[in-house]
Amino acid sequence: MLPSTDIAWVADHLSERFGMDKWQFCLSATDANRFSLRIARQLTGKPKIVVNDWCYHGTVDETLVILDHDGKTISRPGAIGPQVQPGLTTIAVPYNDLAAMEQVLAGGEVACVLMEPALTNIGIVLPQSGYLEGVRQLTRKYGVILILDETHTICAGPQGASRLWGIDADMLVIGKTIGGGIPVAAYGMSADISRRVENLMHGHDLDVSGIGGTLSGSALAGAAIRATLTHALRQEDFDIAIPLATRWSEGVQAAITHHELPWTVQQLGCRAEYWFEDHPQNGAQAAATVNDGLESYMHLYALNRGILLTPFHNMALMTPFHTEEDVDLHTSVFTQCLEEIMS
């Protein structure tokens, strides 16, 4: 509520990086998504949102959904206490399925599509060629706001995956990493969206119309984001971290190939992950490959040998502070683990 010079610098910097016109700040990526959904509904006057089956955008109740066997949108296992049955507000569509997307958007009741450029929360699922371009075309065709959640996919590079892949969003969400550990997030708006949002914000009622909460964009938040964007998350940092993720993937793949296992590795920038099956093409296929027992075993095996894998995934996230020695330690522990499993 109290602007600072840092936050103005940060907004300009984010615009340069991600190509959005204006930014609002909040305290978590969950909130950035929630605020973006409010704005999309208000601007379009449409009641429903679209997300990908098995997506994760934080604890926004209406996004915690999957498709059931009959193609109905229902609460995702583990979701607790949604205000209403989320099928009332949300339509899930499988990732990498343009026909399903078009069918839903053509219904005319959708305010926005909220999605990650690549799924990263049910393992990494990359877009098939033409998928993201197709989603962009369809959202334009049906007047639906496209919100890209880059909270995780910033791992692809300093400008995130959408710029790397040439996809324009109407709104863009970024959180976590940009604060270097301080709770901050931001959502950006294209020139068209920000102009329409500004029209909603006038007079005394402004305090409920979308500026966020009391601590949004605080002096501490501004200073933290400015420091992070100045000293980390730069091209030179990714130039160290991405090759480490490639080395990690190659080490894991070599052990998998040696044992002729049907497992695979997927890399997106400085993030890499292995699967116990072939590469899934959407969230449901990815969810079907989860093997809790084996996953726990791999995590514990690594943990006992000095390596903490990211919880809920078989994933490594590289920083510029990791070294080739760290990666090689993982490769040797992973290789040894496979040898014990296979013996």
Q: Which of 42-50, 71-79, 147-155, 326-334 is the region at the interface with ligand PLP (rule: CB under 6 A)?
A: 147-155
Q: How far is the CB of 20 from ligand PLP (least distance, A)?
A: 17
User: Exposed, middle or buried, 306 (CB in 10 Å: 0-12/13-18/19+)?
Assistant: exposed
Among 15, 28, 209, 246, binds ligand PLP (CB under 6 A): 28
Q: Which of 27-35, 139-147, 251-259, 334-342 is the region at the interface with ligand PLP (rule: CB under 6 A)?
A: 27-35
Position 152 contacts ligand PLP (CB under 6 A): yes
The residue (of 90 and 121) whose beta carbon lies closer to ligand PLP is 121
Q: Which of 52-60, 101-109, 138-146, 215-223 is the region at the interface with ligand PLP (rule: CB under 6 A)?
A: 52-60
Position 149 contacts ligand PLP (CB under 6 A): yes
Edge-to-edge strands of the sheet including 264-268? 264-268, 271-275, 315-317
Q: Where are the beta strands (DSSP E) in the chain?
A: 22-26, 48-52, 65-67, 73-75, 90-93, 110-115, 145-149, 171-175, 185-189, 264-268, 271-275, 315-317
Position 187 contacts ligand PLP (CB under 6 A): no
The residue (of 116 and 273) whose beta carbon lies closer to ligand PLP is 116
Among 151, 190, 218, 282, binds ligand PLP (CB under 6 A): 151
| Residue 181 and residue 28 in contact, taking contact as beta carbons nearer than 8 Å | no
Position 95 contacts ligand PLP (CB under 6 A): no
Q: Give the single-character DSSP code of 310.
A: B
Q: Which residues, 116 to 145, sit near ligand PLP by CB under 6 A? A: 116, 121
Q: Which of 130-138, 146-154, 214-222, 262-270 is the region at the interface with ligand PLP (rule: CB under 6 A)?
A: 146-154
Position 330 contacts ligand PLP (CB under 6 A): no
Among 17, 34, 48, 57, binds ligand PLP (CB under 6 A): 57
- Interhelix angle 219-231/5-18, rounded to 10 degrees, is 40
What sign does the CA torsion over 119, 125, 128, 129 have? positive
Q: Which residues, 167 to 186, sit near ligand PLP by CB under 6 A? A: 175-176
Position 30 contacts ligand PLP (CB under 6 A): yes
Q: Using alpha carbons, select from 297, 253, 248 the residue that is nearest to residue 278.
A: 253
| Per-residue tokens: 242 | 């991405």
For the beta carbon of residue 142, count every other beta carbon within 10 angstroms: 17
Q: Which residue is nearest to ligand PLP (CB)?
A: 58
Distance between CA atoms of residues 275 and 53, nearest Å: 19
User: Exposed, middle or buried, 104 (CB in 10 Å: 0-12/13-18/19+)?
Assistant: buried
Q: Which of 25-33, 41-49, 255-263, 295-303 is the region at the interface with ligand PLP (rule: CB under 6 A)?
A: 25-33
User: Exposed, middle or buried, 324 (CB in 10 Å: 0-12/13-18/19+)?
Assistant: exposed
Residues that bind ligand PLP (CB under 6 A): 28-30, 33, 56-58, 116, 121, 149, 151-152, 175-176
